[in-house]
Amino acid sequence: MSKEIATPNRTKEILKKYGFSFKKSLGQNFLIDTNVLNNIVDCADLQQDSGAIEIGPGIGALTEQLAKRCERVVAFEIDQRLLPILKETLAPYPHATVIHSDVLEADINSVIIENFNEGQDLMVVANLPYYVTTPILMGLLEKKLPIRGIVVMIQKEVAERISAKPGTKNYGSLSIAAQYYAKATTEMIVPKTVFVPQPNVDSAVLKLTLRDEPAVKVDDEEFFFKLIKASFAQRRKTLINNLTHNLFTKAEKEAVEAVLNQCNIDPTRRGETLSMEEFGLLANSLQEL
């Protein structure tokens, strides 16, 4: 049996053999700790007949652990230089496939139809590059893919923002956008020392369990998200000020205030104090304006 990829020595050996140099622009940080990788895979609750979708496999450290635990793994890799490396490192795992593509531009639904069985238990599991974390996560959630959930290693600060509760300093439009589609929990903090090269900040493993129905019933999703964005435009401003500066005109201020009062929401509150339910109620009530 070949040595596991995710050890400092084996990683060094592979990188040296292929003369691979890290591209800062791609946010490449490879994990060199098998325990951490196993913990990530544990968080995904995969069964033997499950499938996994990975984004940015690097040299295959996480891919290998996923392949050991489930029936099928499909990984999206944007960096062409990694393809020959992955071909070698994943050779013992014929049920792991690498697709050379930018996941933000890929038709993930088609990939799922082509590579997995209908109704198969599916999880997205990945160590995401920091610079595209939010667009990737929101893209996965908005596409309403047939997946059970997402387990990702991301920047600690972003994980805290996504899983934040109302009334806390981390709670904002990103928390609501993600939690509208999924239940979010920060599963573990991962020190920067288990990566090569070492990033400047610690990471965290975030778990998103998809909801069968969105967290609140809204008549118009687009307006709901616009309202949330406007409510957090300037955190220190009151709700009424944010809304009349970013979504409505000053002339509509009184009408907006009347709707807020009707919804039992004090206009002088700040966006971060409102629950998702309150935002849902407000969106449905303000839409007429």
User: Would you state the torsion angle of the CA atoms of residues 198, 200, 202, 205, taken in this order, to the nearest 10 degrees?
Assistant: -70
Binding site annotation covers 29? yes
Q: Residue 261, exposed/middle/buried by CB under 10 A (0-12, 13-18, 19+)?
A: exposed
Binding site annotation covers 56? yes
3-state SS track over 166-194: CCCCCCCHHHHHHHHHEEEEEEEEECHHH
3-state secondary structure of 134: helix
User: What CA–CA distance (Å, rounded) separates 245 from 267?
Assistant: 14
Specify the DSSP class assigned to residue 281: H
For residue 136, the Cα-to-chain-centroid distance in whole angstroms is: 6
Given a contact cutoff of 8 angstroms between Cβ atoms, the answer to whether 214 and 143 are in contact is: no
Q: Which amino acids are annotated as binding site for S-adenosyl-L-methionine, given as ranges?
A: 29, 31, 56, 77, 102, 127
- Which residues belong to the annotated binding site? 29, 31, 56, 77, 102, 127
